[in-house]
Structure formats: C-alpha cells, structure tokens
Amino acid sequence: MLPDQFSRGDNDDLMIEGVSVAEVAERFGTPTYVYSRAAIESAFGALTEAFGDRAHRICYAVKANSNIGILGLLARLGAGFDIVSIGELERVRAAGGDPAVVVFSGVGKSADEIRRALDAGIGCLNVESEAELDRIAAIATEMSRTAPISLRVNPDVDARTHPYISTGLKDNKFGIAIDEALSLYERAHAHPALEVIGIDCHIGSQLTDVSPFAAAAERVMKLAHQLAERGIRLKHLDLGGGLGIRYTDEQPPAAADWIEAIRSVVDADPLGRDLPIWIEPGRFLVGPAGALVTRVEYLKPGSHKSFAIVDAAMNDLMRPALYGSDMAIVPAAKGTGTRSQDTWEIVGPICETGDFLGHERSLELGEGDLLAVLAAGAYGFSMASNYNTRPRAAEVLVDGGACHEIRRREPLDSLWALERLPPLGR
C-alpha cells in the first residue's frame, strides 16, 4: 500500500504528486530525499480539523526534518515549533518562523543557548531538571528578563514503543518525575525572573495506541489541579507528540483519534477546558510525505544470501541500523540491466555490516533500477552524516507538477572545508 500522494504512472513508475520519481532522479541524481508538499499540508490540516475551534497550538518537532524549506511551509500553515538546540531555533528563524511560538525542549541546554533563546523572545522553555531551572533563573536575572517556563514532567507512562524512543518512564533521562514537580513549580512561581506558563509532557515516539496519551493527560491534569490550589495559574498544557505512522504493516490511529483521546480527558475537566492544548508532532507531519530514492549499483546473488547494493547507505538513512526499523522499499523505475527475481538484502556501500536499508525483500531487480524507501520524511536526512566521507543527499520538495531543490547535494570539497593542515614542520 502506497502512502497518500504516491501512485503508479506509465510503465508502473512511482509517482509523487504529479512527478515521476525517475524524473527526480534524472534531474537531481541519487540518493535523493523527495517530499510531497500536499502530504505535509494534509497531515497538518487533519490535526487542525480535529481540534476544530478548540484553542490549541501545533508545535512541529523540528528534529524530525529540519530543512528550512519544510519549516517555511509549516510556518505559513500557522505552526509553532518544538526545538532542542539553538541551531534549530536559528533554522526556524531563517525559515521565517516566530520565536514567540517556539518551545525549547531538551535535557542539556547550555548557558549560551538559554541566553540566545531569551534574547530572541522564546515562547517557552521546557525545563527538564532542577539544575536547569536554577540556571535559567540565574541567567534571566543577569539579563533582567522574565523567562517563560514550563516543567517537562515525566508521568511514568509506558508508551509501548522502541526503548530508544521511549521518553516517559522513570528509567528515561527526560523530564522531572511528576511527583517531584510540585515543589519545583512552587520555587519557580516565587522567583521574580521566572514566569510559569504551562506543563509539558512527552512520553515517546511512534505510538500506535492512543491510550498512553490519555493516561499521561490524566496525570498532567492532576498536577494542574495541585498547582491551581496553590495559586499557580497555567496558560497552556503541552501534551507532546509521538503519534505513529505506517512503515510496513502498522495500523496507527488517525489524527482525530489522537486528539480525541487527549480532549476526552482535558475537556472533561473544567480547569482543563479553559487551557489551550499544545502538541508537538514531528514524524506524523513529515514522515509519510517523504521517500529516499536510491539506485541499484550491483546485484550480488548467492547461495545463502543475495545482496542488492544500492547507492544510499546508513549515513543517508540511519533508522534501520540504529533501531532495526523495518521500512517499506518499493520499485520506483526500471533500469536497463538484466532483471532477476530473488529475496534481496538491500545494502549500501559503507564498510559496516550494519549498513543496510532492508532485509529479505522479495523483488525483481536489475542494475540501474530505482528503489524508494517509503515514509522516510522523518528522521532520515536530519540524522544523516558524512561517514566514509560521503556527501549527504539532495532534498527535493514536489508541489503538484513542480520540483524544488530545497537542499543541493554536498560537493566533495565542502566535506573538509572547515578542516586545516597543521604546521607540522619536518
């Protein structure tokens, strides 16, 4: 099953909106990331529609895909942004985003990052430890600023996802234990350089069940009542992101189901009904919109395993090697080589056994064929590296029948442009 905005055209070529993937490869080379504008807008629209006229803010998680072309598109749709570094803040600004609708998450904010965020007029700092709260208070005092903060609370809810992307358990490094948050909120409320404006909570990523979202919302609402009893009035509830997408055979909930699970808890409570709900989706907005296009370089059949060696690698798409992620890989266009039906290991040219895009894929392939790794719009390019001194891929945004190169392929000499030969003498 192809994601929305993908279809089959003449000769069974893969199409994204009105453009063939073969045309993208011809114009921009391979490997290349290609994204559908319509798919991103549709996903954002589904969330907006699910909220209706209920006060809310959709803060896109920039880490999922940080290309300024994507950020600019989402800014024009009215998105806020969830960031985890000052670099991501500057990307948002470069894309035309407003720092006032940005939330700054992350467990390790440096002093320089906090100063820059306050100077830029950040919307909210999501505080993840007592030490961070003290640092923000000291810096805000030094700058004669009032820092808008929420505490990211850890509700100890099992998101039932991969352990590397679970963030809401006591074992995780993220957030402040929810039973310890009350005393920190009281300290923050009493500090003249801090303004408490919300509660933040994020329990994990790639969730395919909405019940953990509802469980976390219940614990957040209990804390909100404890704060209200102490005269601490909130301006929003940030209930995070993490809604899953389909990679192969997953059956993730619809956007409306996710929002309904949250609202069924928050809006049933008179205190919650008056508070805007903020969410932090990333993968849901951009994952299904993207594909990694790669070309088959060599076929290496064998008696034990057969390998299709492609020009994309783990440096281009880390998820399979890092998480063991199973991502759909489909034919995109036929090359001119002799074709062979087999069960293939789809592997790249990097000198690591862990360099694979997919295992045991039954495909008829020939050298020069194009393949597309689907649902690669999130945590694809944003996690890419230059390992083995490989240039990172190009990125292309398709808009109807038009293709826009939103990041050109890196020239080789750019890979060592910041390096210097030291004066070693003899």
SS3 assignment for the chain: CCCCCEEECHHHCEEECCEEHHHHHHHHCCCEEEEEHHHHHHHHHHHHHHHCCCCEEEEEEHHHCCCHHHHHHHHHHCCEEEECCHHHHHHHHHCCCCHHHEEECCCCCCHHHHHHHHHHCCCEEEECCHHHHHHHHHHHHHHCCCEEEEEEEECCCCCCCCHHHECCCCCCCCCEEHHHHHHHHHHHHHCCCEEEEEEECCCECCECCCHHHHHHHHHHHHHHHHHHHCCCCCCEEECCCCECCCCCCCCCCCHHHHHHHHHHHHCCCHHHHCCCEEECCCHHHHCCCEEEEEEEEEEECCCCCEEEEECCCCCCCCHHHHHCCCCCEEEEECCCCCEEEEEEEEECCCCCCCCEEEEEEEEEEECCCEEEEECCCCCCHHHCCCHHHCCCCEEEEEECCEEEEEECCCCHHHHHCCCCCCCCCC
Q: Angle at CA 377, nearest 5°, toward 371 and 381?
A: 90
∠ Cα 389 61 315 (to 5°): 15
> What is the C-alpha separation between 239 and 278, in angstroms, rounded?
6
- Beta-bridged to residue 307, according to DSSP, are 300, 345
β-bridge mates for residue 35, sequence order = 290, 397
The CA distance from 141 to 215, in Å, is 37
Can you tell me the distance from the alpha carbon of 221 to that of 342, in angstroms, rounded to the nearest whole number?
54
* Contact (CB, 8 A) for 291 and 381: no
- Positions annotated as catalytic residues are 351
Q: How far apart are CA 418 and CA 425, in angstroms?
A: 21
